[in-house]
Amino acid sequence: MSRLTRAGATRYLASRVKNEVLVSNLGQASLDLLAIADRPLNCYTFGAMGQCSSIGLGIAIGRPDVRVICLDGDGSLLMNLGSLCTIAAEAPRNYVLMVWDNEVHQTTGGQATATAKKASLVGIARGAGIEKGIEVRTQDELARAVDRVLKEDGPFIVVVKVEKGPSTAPFDQDLIGQASRFRKALAAL
Amino acid sequence: MADQSWAKHVADVLRRNGIRMFATVPDYIVGCVLDELWADPECRVVTTTREEEAVGLLSGAWLAGKRGALLMQNSGLGNCTNALASLNMASLIPVVLVVSHRGDLGEFNPAQVPMGRAATRILDALGIRWIRPTSIAELEQQADGLIKLCYVSSQPVAIVLPSELTGGKKG
């Protein structure tokens, strides 16, 4: 069975969301989301390495009426594992942490991360106190996980094992414009 | 002997400027401000494991329409410098930093001294406007204007809390 790709999983998730906020991690996750499914309710984060899950947590706490889905990477989440403890402690029901886990630091040249060896992000999240953890390897599993996170209370962590490989999408330098557009779109929701 | 009401003045200046969302990695000094905020049912205080996590969280809260303040020690300023630079400064996301100043007058712990010396220079290097009131009168004179500047410029600002104001931490 072929592995999921980050771009394919991004395309599928984007086809399922309506008024949900998507918060994408710097580098690959943001480049793919920007190219495949740009929309005002996307929050691209090109700064603050490691902080995607925390930025999404702040949005979820600030707007408990809106479901927030973070698209993090394995390297970035490994840099901010304490965030899992804070997510569990605050336990926002509208919060989903999805991780594109390709087991490498893709943006810096594909060096292996700890998930290529022993570490399980779902296992670490369980230890931190996030009880709803799902590991996804196939399209069917991804579809079932998305069904659950769109209707069931969180917090969730969904670790999606994806193929290695860099995004081919272009970078948009207008970070100020992206943040401003997102803030206005969320305020209008 | 510092006037122990300084902490309530700090909490009040934050609250009267519309800040209800707080994140913190506590220390002994900002803990006095946190006691005021924890006692206020209108305030949400999130304790994070590390200061840069708090920067991310408060930046998200700002994007969701909430003003936020980060309460930490100056040692934590070192832990969140990259997040402040690459997220808040680069994308124009405001946040109020409340930073206890260890490692300065009256310090008992040598480990605090180098970051104590570096603290305001790190803020200067980032281009973050800061105040360092040594009395409640100075705090009251400067802090409202600083917070106004935070949101009009859409950039972080810092209230640095020296031992002259807070009494510091006795060994």
Q: How many residues does chain B have?
A: 171
- Distance between CA atoms of residues B83 and A48, nearest Å: 4
- The distance from CA B118 to its chain's CA centroid, rounded to whole angstroms, is 16
Checking if the pLDDT of B144 tops 80, the result is: yes
Q: Does B50 touch chain A (CB under 8 A)?
A: yes
Contact between A87 and A58 (Cβ < 8 Å): no
Rounded CA Rg of chain B: 14
Which residue spans within chain A are E strands per DSSP?
A: 21-24, 42-44, 68-73, 95-101, 104-105, 111-112, 132-136, 156-161
Question: What digits encode the pLDDT tens for the residues A42-100?
Answer: 999 999 999 999 999 999 999 999 999 999 999 999 999 999 999 999 999 999 999 99
Residue A81: what pLDDT?
98
Q: CA separation (Å) from A133 to A103, A123, A175, A177?
A: 18, 8, 32, 34
Between B44, B57, B82, which is nearest A54 by CB? B57
User: Under 8 Å CB-to-CB from B41, ≥6 apart: which residues?
Assistant: none
Distance from CA of B100 to the nearest CA of A (A): 23
Between B53, B55, B61, which is nearest A62 by CB? B61
Residue A57: what pLDDT?
98
Residues from chain A that touch B91, judged by Cβ atoms under 8 A, are 46-47, 175-176, 178-179
**CB count in 10 Å sphere of residue B39:** 9
Mean of the per-residue pLDDT values of chain B: 97
Q: Does the beta-carbon distance from B63 to A62 stay under 8 Å?
A: yes
**Chain A, chain B: beta-carbon pairs less than 8 Å apart:** 124
Confidence of residue B139 (pLDDT cuts 50, 70, 90): very high
Residues from chain A that touch B62, judged by Cβ atoms under 8 A, are 58, 62, 183
Residues from chain B that touch A82, judged by Cβ atoms under 8 A, are 48-50, 53
Contact between A60 and A68 (Cβ < 8 Å): yes
Please report, as a single letter, which amino acid is at residue B12: D
Chain B residue closest to A52 (CA)?
Answer: B56
Q: Does the beta-carbon distance from B62 to A183 stay under 8 Å?
A: yes
Confidence of residue B3 (pLDDT cuts 50, 70, 90): confident
Question: What digits encode the pLDDT tens for the residues A103-140?
Answer: 999 989 999 999 999 999 999 999 999 999 999 999 99
Question: What digits encode the pLDDT tens for the residues B79-133?
Answer: 999 999 999 999 999 999 999 999 999 999 999 999 999 999 999 999 999 999 9
Residue A89: what pLDDT?
98
ipTM rounded to 2 decimals = 0.96
